[in-house]
Chain A
C-alpha cells in the first residue's frame, strides 16, 4: 500500500523529469503541483484560522471564558458549542500539516529510488515504473545534478579558500521556515488561556520547526531540501494571495499584541437569545458598543496563573 503510494510519486516525478530533462526542475515543478493540489486544504486552513481568531476576539467568547474559567470541562464543552455555532473546526488547521508528512516521506523515498547507483537499484526502478506510462529505458540514467548539487546527496557548496562545504540549502530552509512560521501564524488573544497555550506552542514551533527542517536539510538528500525550500516559499505566497501574511510578526523581539476587547461587564444576552443570522458580523468586536475605551483597554493578566502581574504605571 505504502509502496504503491511512493511509486505514484516516483512515476509522476520521473514523468516530469522526462518532460523537462532536469531532475532539480522536476522536483520544483512536482512541489508546485503538490502545493496546488493541496491548495483548497490550505485555503480552508487559512479561513479556519481567521474565523477562530475572530471568534476568540468576540465578546461572547470572552464572556464565556470569564464565566467558566474555574471549570475546565465546562469551558471545553461551551467552547465546542461555540465553535459549532460559528462553524469553526478547531482541528481544520492541522490537516494540511498532517498531509505534508506522508508527502515528505514518499517524496524522499521517490528521490532516493530515482537516483540509482547500482544494477540492483536500477532493476528496482524498472519494477516501480508503470510500464504503460513511462519507458524507463528512455529516461535512464537520471542526471542527479542540479546547479552545484547532487540531489541524491546532502548539499554543500564548496568555495575556493574555504576548507568546508557551506550548507546553503539548509540555511535557506531554516530562513524560509522561520519566515513561514512567523508570517503565517495570526496574532493570538492573550486573554484566552487556550490561545495563550497555543501561542506558547507556536513559540516553540518557531524554534523547533526551523531546527528540525534545517537538520533534515543538512543531513538528508538535497532533493528533499529543495522540496522544503520551494514548499516554504509557496506557502508564504499562498498566504500572501489570501492576504493573511502577518508582516508585523517578522519584527524580532517582544511581539506587539493587538488590542482586544474585554468581556462586557454585563452579559450580552441578545447574542445568546437571538442568534445572529450572520455570525461573522457578530464575531467582529465592536469596542464602542461594548462601552470599552480602546485606549484604556488592558490585558487581563489574571488569566495567567503563576505569572507576574503587570507593573502599575
Chain B
C-alpha cells in the first residue's frame, strides 16, 4: 500500500514536471518559430525561413541551404543580396555567406556567442558589411576581409532592426526605445535619442530624413540637420511595418488594421481607412507599391488589399495562411510568404491573379557537402 502511494506520488511528480516542461516547449516553440524573410533579385526570390535559405524562381526550387536541416540552425531575417552573394543571419548569431547561383557556403561569420540571434538583415554599404545582433552589438566588417570586424559597438540592449547607413553615419534603433547615430568608420556613438516605442520595421530614407514607425503608435523621423527626432503622425494602433514613402506622401499600416496616408512634410492626414475589421488583426508586413502604381497592404490573416493612391479600394483577395512577411516585387508580380498555409510562397500579378506558388519540397536525396564545396539536392516539388 505504502509503495503504491509512493509510486503514485512519484508519477504525479513526473507528470507535473512533464506538463510544465511541455508548457515551456510550447513557449519555446512560439519563441523560436519565425515567419519567412524574403528578398528578390531579378526573377528569383530568396527566402530565409526556419532551418534553411531557399532560392525559388517561378515556383521552382533552385537551391536550398543547408541541404539538410542542422541542429539549432534557424533563419529569420530577409537575406541580403550583393555582388553574387547572399548574406543570411541565423539564430546562432552567425552570418552565412552563400553563392547566389548555387547556394554553396562561401564563408561564415560567427559573432561572439551562439546564444544570441541575428534578427535583422545584414546591411552592405560602402564596401562594408554591417551586422546588428540581438546581443546588443553592431559589427562592421570590410567586405574583402570578413575575418575580423573593423569595429564593434556595444549598445544598451537588443537590436532587432537593420541599421541604416547613409552619408557616413550608421543609424540604429534598440529595443529600449533609443535611436542612435554611429560613425560609419569607427562605430563611435555620436548621438543617442529617446523615442516613444520600440521600432520593429526598417528605417526609411526620404529627403535626407530617416523615417520609422514605433510600437508607441507614432511615426517619426530623425532630422540630421537639427539632430532631433520629430513626430510626423499618431496612429490608432502600434506600428510594426515600415512606412512607405511615395513622393510627398507617407503610407503607414498599423497593427489595429488601419491604413493612413499623410503628407510627408506637414504630417497632415490625406486619407485614413479601417482596412481590416477583424479584431486583433492588423498589418505586420510592409505596404508596397505594386508595378501598376497601386498600393498593396497585406494583413496578418492573409488578406491581400489593393488600393489606389487616393485610398480607394481596387481589389482584394484572401489567401490561406498568415502573412507577416513583407512582400517583394518581381517583374510585374509580387511574392508573399505564408505560415503555416499550404504553400510557403505565392506570387500574384498586380491585379491579384495567381502567378505561381511554391511549397517546400520533400527531399529525397542529399549529397552531403564537403567544406565550401557545392552540394546537390534532388527534390520533388508537389504537383500544382
A interface residue numbers (CB < 8 A to B): 104-105, 108-109, 112-113, 116-124, 126-127, 135-138, 140-141, 200-201, 204-205, 208, 211-212, 215-216, 219-221, 224
Task: List 3 tightest A-B contacts by C-beta distance, closest first.
Answer: A137-B215, A112-B27, A137-B197
Known: A108-B20, A204-B5, A215-B17. A120 touches B31 (CB 8 A): yes
Q: Out of A112, A113, A141, name the residue touching B157 (CB < 8 Å).
A: A141
Of B19, B31, B238, B280, most buried by chain A (CB within 10 Å of CB) is B31
In the complex, what residue of chain B is closest to A112 when comparing beta carbons?
B27
- CB B36 to nearest CB in A, in angstroms, measures 12
In contact, B134 and A117 (Cβ under 8 angstroms): yes
Of all chain A residues, the one with the shortest Cβ separation from B279 is: A131
**CA–CA, A204 to B13, complex, Å?**
12
Residues of B within 8 A of A122 (CB): 200
Query: Which chain A residues border B196 with CB–CB below 8 Å?
Result: 137
Could you give, for residues 9-33 of chain B, a 1 whenever the CB lies within 8 Å of some chain A CB and a 0 otherwise?
Answer: 1100100110111011001101111
Contact B17 A219 (CB under 8 A): yes
Which residues of B lie under 8 Å from residue A216 when comparing CB positions? 16-17, 20
> How far, in whole Å, are A220 and B160 apart by their CA atoms in the complex?
26
Q: A208–B8 Cα gap in the complex (Å)?
A: 11
Verify A137–B214 contact, CB threshold 8 A: yes
Contacting A at CB under 8 A, from B197-218, are: 197-198, 200, 214-217
Q: How far is the CB of A156 from chain B (nearest CB, A)?
A: 14
CA separation between A212 and B324, bound complex, in Å? Answer: 41
Is A109 in contact with B23, judged by CB distance below 8 angstroms? Answer: yes
Complex contact B13–A208 (CB within 8 A): yes
Interface residue count on the B side (C-beta < 8 Å): 44
Given the complex, which residues of B lie within 8 Å of A121, measured CB to CB?
A: 30-31
The answer to whether B20 and A141 have CB atoms under 8 Å apart is no
Q: Are A118 and B5 in contact (CB under 8 A)?
A: no
Q: How far is the CA of A211 from the CA of B2 in the complex (A)?
A: 18
Contacts of A140 in B (CB 8 A): 175, 197-198, 215
Q: A123–B324 contact, CB under 8 A?
A: yes
Contact present for B34 and A118 (CB under 8 Å): yes
Q: Which of B9, B117, B215 contacts A118 (CB 8 A)?
A: B117
16 cross-chain CB contacts under 8 A: A108-B24, A109-B23, A112-B27, A118-B34, A118-B76, A120-B324, A123-B284, A140-B215, A200-B5, A204-B6, A208-B10, A208-B13, A212-B13, A212-B17, A220-B20, A224-B20
Specify which of B19, B34, B238 lies most central, judged by the most chain A CB atoms within 10 Å of its CB: B238
Please give the distance in Å from A145's CB to the nearest CB on chain B. Answer: 11
- Chain B residue at minimal CB-CB distance from A201: B5
Q: With A137-B214, A140-B175, A141-B157 in contact, is A120–B9 under 8 Å at CB?
A: no
Question: How far, in angstroms, from A200 to B6 measured CA to CA in the complex?
Answer: 10
**Are B280 and A124 in touch, CB under 8 angstroms?**
no
Task: Let me know if B102 is at the binding interface, CB within 8 A.
Answer: no
Q: Which of B44-67 contact A (CB under 8 A)?
A: none
Q: Is A117 touching B117 in the complex (CB atoms < 8 A)?
A: yes
Point out the residues of chain A lying under 8 angstroms from B76, CB to CB.
118-119
The reply to whether A117 and B31 contact each other, CB–CB distance below 8 Å, is: yes
Residue B119 at the A interface, CB < 8 A? yes
**Of the residues B20, B30, B215, contact of A120 by C-beta under 8 Å:** B30
Min distance, Cβ A240 to any Cβ of chain B, angstroms:
28
**B255 in the interface (beta carbon within 8 A):** yes
Chain B residues positioned under 8 Å from A117 (CB to CB): 31, 117, 134
Closest partner residue, chain A, to B174 (CB atom): A141
Contact between B13 and A136, CB atoms less than 8 A apart = no
**B197 proximity list for chain A (CB < 8 A):** 137-138, 140
Is B35 engaged at the interface, CB distance under 8 Å to the other chain? yes
**Contact assessment for A105 and B19 in the assembled complex, using a CB-CB cutoff below 8 Å:** yes
Could you tell me the distance between the alpha carbons of A238 and B9 in the complex, rounded to whole angstroms? 26
Q: What separation, in Å, do the CA atoms of A212 and B117 have in the docked complex? A: 33
- In contact, A119 and B238 (Cβ under 8 angstroms): no
Additional A-B contacts beyond A108-B23, A208-B10, A216-B20 (17; CB < 8 A): A113-B27, A117-B117, A118-B31, A119-B35, A119-B119, A120-B33, A121-B30, A121-B31, A137-B197, A137-B198, A137-B238, A141-B157, A141-B158, A200-B2, A201-B5, A215-B13, A219-B17
Known A119-B76, A220-B24; judge A124-B160 contact (CB<8 A). Answer: no
CA distance A219 to B134 in the complex (A): 25
Determine the chain A residues whose CB is within 8 A of the CB of B19 once the complex forms.
105
Which B residues touch A104, using CB under 8 A? 20
Bound-state Cα–Cα, A126 to B57, Å: 35
Instruction: Report A-chain residues with C-beta under 8 Å of the C-beta of B10.
Output: 208
Residues of B within 8 A of A105 (CB): 19-20, 23
Which residues of chain B from 106 to 135 have any CB-CB distance to chain A below 8 Å in the complex?
Answer: 117, 119, 134
Which residues from chain A contact B35 at a C-beta distance below 8 Å? 119-120
Interface residue from B33, B119, B200, B280 paired with A127 (Cβ < 8 Å): B280
Q: Using an 8 Å CB-CB cutoff, how does the interface string of B267-295 with A read, 1 for contact, 0 for none?
A: 00000000000001000100000000000
Q: Give bound CA distance, A65 to B188, whole Å.
A: 83
- The residue on B at minimum CB distance from A221 is B24
Q: Could you tell me the distance between the alpha carbons of A155 and B100 in the complex, rounded to whole angstroms?
A: 44
Shortest Cβ gap from B188 to chain A (Å): 25
| Residues from chain A with Cβ under 8 Å of B175 in the complex | 140-141
Chain A contacts of B255 at CB under 8 A? 126
- Contact flag A119-B34 (CB < 8 Å), given A109-B23, A204-B9: yes
The answer to whether A137 touches B216 (Cβ under 8 A) is yes
Residue in A113, A124, A136 whose beta carbon sits within 8 Å of that of B238 in the complex: A136
Determine the chain B residues whose CB is within 8 A of the CB of A113 once the complex forms: 27
A109 to B27, CA, bound (A): 7
CB closest chain-B residue, reference A200:
B2
List of A residues within 8 angstroms of B240 by Cβ: 123
